[in-house]
Amino acid sequence: MSARTRPRARVLVIDDQPRTAELLAREAPELEIQTVRSGGEARAHARSWREAAPVLEGRRPPDVVVLDLRFDLPDEQLLPDERPLGESAAARRLRRERRDRQGLFILERLRRRRPEIAVLLTTAYEEIPFEQEALELKADAFTYAAAEEESGSGRLLVSRLRRILEERAAPQRTGRFFWGTSAAMRELRRKVSALAPTPMPLLVTGPTGTGKSLLVRDVIHPLSGRPGAFVAFDCATVPEGLLQAALFGALRGSFTGAVADRPGVFEAAADGTLFLDEIENLAPDAQKMLLTALNDGTIRRLGSAAETPHTARVVAASNAALAHAASNAALTHAASNAALGRRTAEGSFRSDLLMRLNPSLALELPPLSQRREDLPELARLTASAFWDNPRHRRAIASLVRAAGGPDPEPADAFTLAVSEREARDSASAVVFVLPGKAWAAMQRHPWPGNLRQFEMILADSLAAAVYAGPGASLDRGGRVRIPLDPRMLFDLLAGARASEPPPSGAGFSGFAGFGSGSAERPRASSVAGFRRELERSALRALFREAGGDFARMAERMTGSASAKEARAVRLRFNKLGLSARDEK
């Protein structure tokens, strides 16, 4: 996790044929095609996992892997620790099936060892029959040779590869907003670039701590090119009675205490961006006023009869639950959607206001648990921010002096090492050492508070190491080591887990009452039966909470509302003897 930059992007080709590597060497001389050594021979492509692994795990791992989907090697050669299949008819059939997807097996291993490396999967298919698996394994892009009627598949591959590298080379932060390199964030980046300069209202969605307000303040507003101010307004913090005045302004004497005319946030954001945070908390009357402002482009100060045009561009933010309602609203319109229908029936949010906020174009920030490949870069940037703080720098300098090292001055003179090996290999003068086990725990952690929580816990650990740790020491390579305390990190992670909020939305309570003598506690004559009843109860509760929507159930259970997950939930629901019709 050193802060130094790389001069040339490194590419590792994993393919049983040499032509991809040859083409890249010829058509993309700006890239370094990594050499693979096998049996005393050097070549520009790895033909198997066995040949690729040393490069992937070496000191100079690739930036991008170009991986073929189909190999002609026997499994035993491609994946050396696989057991030979034998020669039975079933084994032959299995071997044949596997041949079409051998690249996925390599991708699976690669993801386990190097989740941060981009992968370009190449195939001759018109579509990938195993696309779901490929997506789950986070392939960054695909090239479909068969889709190219006129030009060669190799040329398409080169252009896709360059695009991946451009995206990877883009700054990881814009202002304080962290992008990362995960597929979801790269897609979001493209979407933001397209939508930010337009005048249309936008909806930003995502769980707490994912950076919604930073995205609007540091990215969308500057990209909009609007000369006016960025004004943030938290809909949850203003009492209902004062909302109209706060949003649209008030005339003197319009209410007790209104001693002078005052503008609202719409006027303050003239020709700029008005960011309405936590819009789901907006009171119904205020929703109606906001809808009018968005529909007609006019506002009216409290106490005034005159309507005046406004020029603020509205960007609203909401949590994931509203996002779900919004996206469904876009597809099915309000009344037919169960979740939104319930909200509408409750009067908690107006469907026409949601529609006005362009829910189909919503900018969705994924939870950190769905972009774990971004953790190393996020950790490095968090450490950089800590390092850049003058107060921390002074404290670090005194630790370094006490250890007998030179004053750390250059901005990139530190490394956050997440293993002993990385600490040994570091070329930096100062190395913060995070034990491998602690880093592994951080990578596994669900991070309910998302980026905010990650940054806070890592910054707390760094501060503890600098201000209350055992001090620094000089290693054999002349580097100053500052160890982070793994016990403290585990404690912080455990605390974060204990404070994890219930699943988003209307407060799923499927398990909550079991420990306190709830009437819903299941009874059974055996442990297995109890387990089954427990699962039935939980699924029934979740079914009710989700309004009978299996996609929403899947989202709450697994974080993914994909059709595949929804189908799996439905299957399990039915297998437990439950019926959607009966439960409704």
Partner 1 sequence: MSQIGDFGLPARPPAPYAWAAMGVSEAAERLRHDLAKAIRFSAPEVPETETEALRERLHADVATTRRDDSGSQSAAEVFDAWRLEEGRHFAGALGRRVDDIASAIEEVRGLTVRLPSLSRPELERLDALTRRVASECRALASEARRDSRR
The site for partner 1 (CB under 8 A) is made up of 16-19, 22-23, 26-27, 70, 79, 82, 94, 96-98, 100-101, 104-105, 108, 123-126, 129-130, 132-133, 145-146, 148-155
Tokens found for residue 175: 């202002």
CB of 493 to partner 1, least distance (A): 26
Residue closer to partner 1, measured from CB, 108 or 420: 108
Residue with smaller CB distance to partner 1, 126 or 240: 126
87 versus 149: smaller Cβ distance to partner 1: 149
Give me the least distance between CB of 124 and partner 1, in Å please. Answer: 4
Instruction: Give residue 479's identity as a one-letter amino acid code.
Output: R
For the bound state, the minimum distance from the C-beta of residue 73 to partner 1, rounded and expressed in Å, comes to 10
In the complex, least distance from residue 135 CB atom to partner 1, rounded to whole angstroms: 13
Spacing of C-alpha 94 from chain mean position: 36
Nearest-approach distance from CB 527 to partner 1, in angstroms: 26
CB of 37 to partner 1, least distance (A): 15
CB nearer to partner 1: pick between 25 and 338: 25
Nearer to partner 1, 47 or 371 (CB): 47
Distances from the Cα of 242 to the Cαs of 229, 234, 236, 317, 527, in angstroms?
Answer: 22, 13, 12, 20, 56
Q: Per-residue DSSP letters for 299-353? A: E--BT----EE--PEEEEEE-HHHHHHHHHHHHH-GGG-HHHHHHHHHTSS-HHH
Range 399-406 contact pairs with CB under 8 angstroms and sequence separation of 24 or more: 399/466, 399/471, 399/472, 399/480, 399/482, 400/429, 400/430, 400/472, 400/480, 402/471, 402/472, 403/471, 403/472, 403/473, 403/474, 403/480, 404/474, 405/429, 405/430, 405/472, 405/474, 405/478, 405/479, 405/480
* CB-facing half-sphere around the CA of 345: CA atoms within 13 A: 9
Residue closer to partner 1 (CB basis): 60 or 83: 83
Of the pair 97, 582, the CB lying nearest partner 1 is at 97
In the complex, minimum distance from the CB of residue 89 to partner 1, in angstroms, rounded to a whole number = 13
Rounded to the nearest 10 degrees, what angle do helices 436-444 and 486-498 cross at? 10
Across 273-296, b (16+ Cβ under 10 Å) vs e yields bbbbbbbbbbbeebbebbbbbbee
Between 149 and 582, CB nearer to partner 1: 149
Q: How far is the CB of 129 from partner 1 (least distance, A)?
A: 6
Minimum CB distance to partner 1, residue 156 (Å): 10
Query: How far, in Å, CA of 520 to CA of 537, rounded?
Result: 7
Residue 43 CA to residue 266 CA, distance in Å, equals 63
Q: How far apart are CA 405 and CA 387, in angstroms?
A: 17
Comparing CB distances to partner 1, the nearer of 16 and 307 is 16
Minimal distance in Å, beta carbon 72 to partner 1?
Answer: 8
Min separation Cβ 153 and partner 1, Å: 5
Min. distance of Cβ 67 from partner 1 in angstroms?
Answer: 14
Residue 564's SS3 state is helix
Is the separation of the CB atoms in 67 and 160 below 8 Å? no
Question: What is each CA distance from 552 to 98, 325, 512, 526, 555, in whole angstroms?
Answer: 34, 10, 19, 31, 5
Q: Which amino acid is at 33?
A: I
| Per-residue buried b or exposed e for 161-176, using 16+ beta carbons within 10 Å of the residue's own CB | beebbebbeeebbbee
Nearer to partner 1 among residue 113 and residue 252 (C-beta): 113
For residues 59 and 5, the answer to whether their CB atoms sit within 8 Å is no
Task: Considering the complex, state which of residue 419 and residue 560 has its C-beta at the smaller distance from partner 1.
Answer: 560
Q: Degrees (nearest 5) of the Cα angle 499, 500, 505?
A: 130
Q: Do residues 231 and 274 lie in contact, with contact meaning Cβ atoms separated by under 8 Å?
A: yes
Give the nearer residue to partner 1 in terms of CB position, either 94 or 270: 94
